Amino acid sequence: PSPVPSDTPVPPSAVPGNVLLLYDNVSFTLHNQSGHVLSLEGIIFRSGSGSWNARSWGASLYQRMPVDSCLRMRSVSSRNRQPPAVCGSLYGLQLVGPPAQFWLNTDSFDVVRSGEVIATCPTNQQTCLIFIP
């Protein structure tokens, strides 16, 4: 007999990542490696040290992020720095202060979509591959 289809959800770890997050002591970069235009609608990054709503990159940017592009934020007190080599193009850049620097002074941060945590990223690894549906 053939297997009976089930409605059992696929665990998140079985879904390949489509967004690479890269971060260091002064910058945070989001790279769209999904192969299609990506919407960051409802995405918030948060930790005990701060939060950032993807909407803050700008309405025209966060809703239609092109393939192989990067959205980036950098500490307002840092000097100019090149985006990571993985970025095909820098689609948006914001200079931010401490309230938005959620990836600093914490062991991890959450990626939240419409109120649901979709990933938790450790800050000591400086990269985190996540899936944004």
Domain-embedded: residue 75:
yes
The total of structural domains in the chain comes to: 1
Of 89 and 6, the one with more pLDDT? 89
Taking 80 as the threshold, does the pLDDT of residue 11 lie above it?
no
Domain-embedded: residue 3:
no
**What one-character-per-residue DSSP string does 2-24 give?**
PPPP--PPPPGGGSPP-EEEEE-
Residue 125's pLDDT is what?
A: 94
Domain-embedded: residue 73:
yes
Domain-embedded: residue 20:
no
Domain-embedded: residue 7:
no
Domain that holds residue 57: 27-130
Residue 1's pLDDT is what?
A: 57
- Burial zone of 88 (CB within 10 Å; 0-12 exposed, 13-18 middle, 19+ buried): middle
Residue 78 tokens read as 């840092």
Residue 14's pLDDT is what?
A: 62
Domain-embedded: residue 9:
no
pLDDT tens-digit series, residues 38-86 = 999 999 999 999 999 999 999 889 999 999 999 999 999 998 888 899 9
Band (pLDDT 50/70/90 cuts) for residue 123 is: very high
Cα–Cα distance measured from residue 128 to residue 81, given in angstroms and rounded to the nearest whole number: 20
Domain-embedded: residue 81:
yes
Domain-embedded: residue 8:
no
pLDDT tens-digit series, residues 55-64 = 999 988 999 9
